[in-house]
Structure 1
Amino acid sequence: MSKTVSIIVPVYNGALYIAETLDSIYNQSYKNIQLIVVDGASTDNTLEVVKAHKMKPHILISEKDKGMYDALRKGCEQATGDYMCYINSDDRLLPYTLEMVVQKFETEKCDLVFGDVNYINEQGDVIFMYKGVNFGHKAIKEICRVPFAQQSSFWTRDMYLKTGGFDSSLKYVADSKFLLTICLNPSVKKAYIPKPLGEYRLHGASFSVSVTDKMIVEHGRVMQELDLKRSGALWPVYEFYAKLVNVGGIYKKMTYKGTKF
């Protein structure tokens, strides 16, 4: 029997784009999926869109929550898949994503798989691509950040349980803390797929666009909690390499005339 991938979709008033998100899950070439939608008691027609979609959630939770990561924890607690990810209600997966991810998990017996991510605009057009970098735990400790995007990240359910999941006391960067905790563990095996696996939509109401300053403050708190500090001589070298790999995307980002982030 093929492995199951649990996909958690947290949403609040996401009627505008969630059909596209569900389309991207429905259109996966890999079909053994457990879809969990966690709605924070939306006041728009999000629930109607979800219930009418051909990709029916296996689990649908709709109730007030304490924020996105509280919603994610609720969804993850219901997840039974071998592998897990979450996708926000305005983002998308590529049609081949899960097939490639499961194959990578199975052939390399790893704990975490990640790839590249496309940044898309309101209409769903690709603006630029951000490439993930498969740094080791020492390099990640130097640069104090995850060198790949959450939208292209997948992990085993065992790894989720071992790390304790998402810290719901954080409102903006619990995903960064979760992924950093995994990546800083020397025993964790990561694998990189050099293709876009997820697509992150830039628009004025998107979560990370609207709270950038607050995210920076919380990231500082996470650095303290994980005892991270850019004190080594090598961190500029690692940062230069990560930027060199992404020089084309950085240029397109800098010259993009739409929503900034």
Structure 2
Amino acid sequence: MKFSIVTVCWNSAAVLPRARDSLSAQTCRDYEWVVVDGASTDGTMEIVRDFDAAPVASVSEPDKGIYDAMNKGVRMARGEYVFFLNSDDALHDPDVLADVARILVAQPAADLLYGNVVYAYPSRKVLRTFAHINGLTLPFENLCHQAVFARRVLFDSVGTFDTRFRLSADYDWLIRVFRSGARTRWIDRRVAQFTAGGAHAQDARKLADENRQVRLQYLSPLALRVGDLARRIRHRYHRHFRAHPLGQPPIES
């Protein structure tokens, strides 16, 4: 099996059809849907049980937070590559999995493949591209987890999500992957539509503090200051000469 699509949810009946329908529409059927539910009481699991487009592996029980649930999903996954699809997000279009599968056939050594993501805000959409992300820039930037297809065995070599972090364990995990020497590839392809405004956006100060804690595991305070200054210079240069922020080209309506 090529892909394990992992969805972590809790009382998500109002939004889960969005993720489900984007999976049902995929032209590639070489995937399983792994659903880790936090003991919902609103009919979430009925939506999961009605899914028949691909094999389903699911569990519904209390957990210790989103990253604990994501670790459960990794343990349940049987696909070669893992992709995390939030319950209120969607694969960008019906050919995402088919196109990514073809790319992986052409680049079989890739351990981690990451594309572009459309961020959906209430009044607008923003395209985020991640061509500028690599092992040197990631500790000073960010990479949306909904952009990433990860070889499942990476979780054996670099470990699972560190549940000490409540908001940034996925960021910490990605830094570990890039530092490990894993073979990473960016593709110029929109892979997901991400609903902006979740827990990360709701507590921006806590997120910034936690991201700093993550970074200081790998960088000295001086290196962090210098790297952050370089990041700000890059972004200002790009905004001035390209008329849009680095990694955020205009998106058609």
Q: TM-score, normalised by structure 1?
A: 0.82
Q: Are the structure 2 counterparts of residues 242 and 115 from structure 1 closer, same or farther at C-alpha, using a change threshold of 3 Å?
A: farther
Q: Find the counterpart in structure 1 of residue 97 from structure 2.
A: 98
Correspondence list, 1:1-261, <5 A: 3-55=1-53, 58-94=56-92, 95-108=94-107, 109-121=109-121, 127-141=125-139, 143=140, 145-146=141-142, 148-185=143-180, 187-203=181-197, 206-227=198-219, 229=221, 231=223, 236-241=229-234, 244=238, 247=245
Q: Does the CA-based 8 Å contact 1:118-1:126 persist in structure 2?
A: no
CA distance in 1, matches of 2:86, 2:202: 15
CA distance in 2, matches of 1:157, 1:25: 20
Amino acid at match of 1:195: R
Amino acid at match of 2:118: N
Q: Does the CA-based 8 Å contact 2:83-2:148 persist in structure 1?
A: yes
Over residues 146-202 of structure 1, what are the superposed CA-to-partner deviations in whole Å (9 max), with x where a residue is unaligned?
A: 3x32111111012122111111222111111111111223x2221111121111113
Amino acid at match of 2:203: V
Alpha-carbon offset, residue 214 of structure 1 = 2.1
Q: Does the CA-based 8 Å contact 1:23-1:55 persist in structure 2?
A: no
Number of equivalent positions = 243
What SS is found at the alignment partner of 1:30?
coil
Alpha-carbon offset, residue 92 of structure 1 = 0.8
CA RMSD of aligned residues (A): 2.7
Alpha-carbon offset, residue 132 of structure 1 = 0.9
Q: Does the CA-based 8 Å contact 1:73-1:168 persist in structure 2?
A: no
- Show structure 2 runs of 5+ residues with no match: none
Amino acid at match of 1:164: G
CA distance in 1, matches of 2:7, 2:176: 22
- Show structure 1 runs of 5+ residues with no match: 254-261
What SS is found at the alignment partner of 1:49?
helix
Q: Does the CA-based 8 Å contact 1:139-1:235 persist in structure 2?
A: no
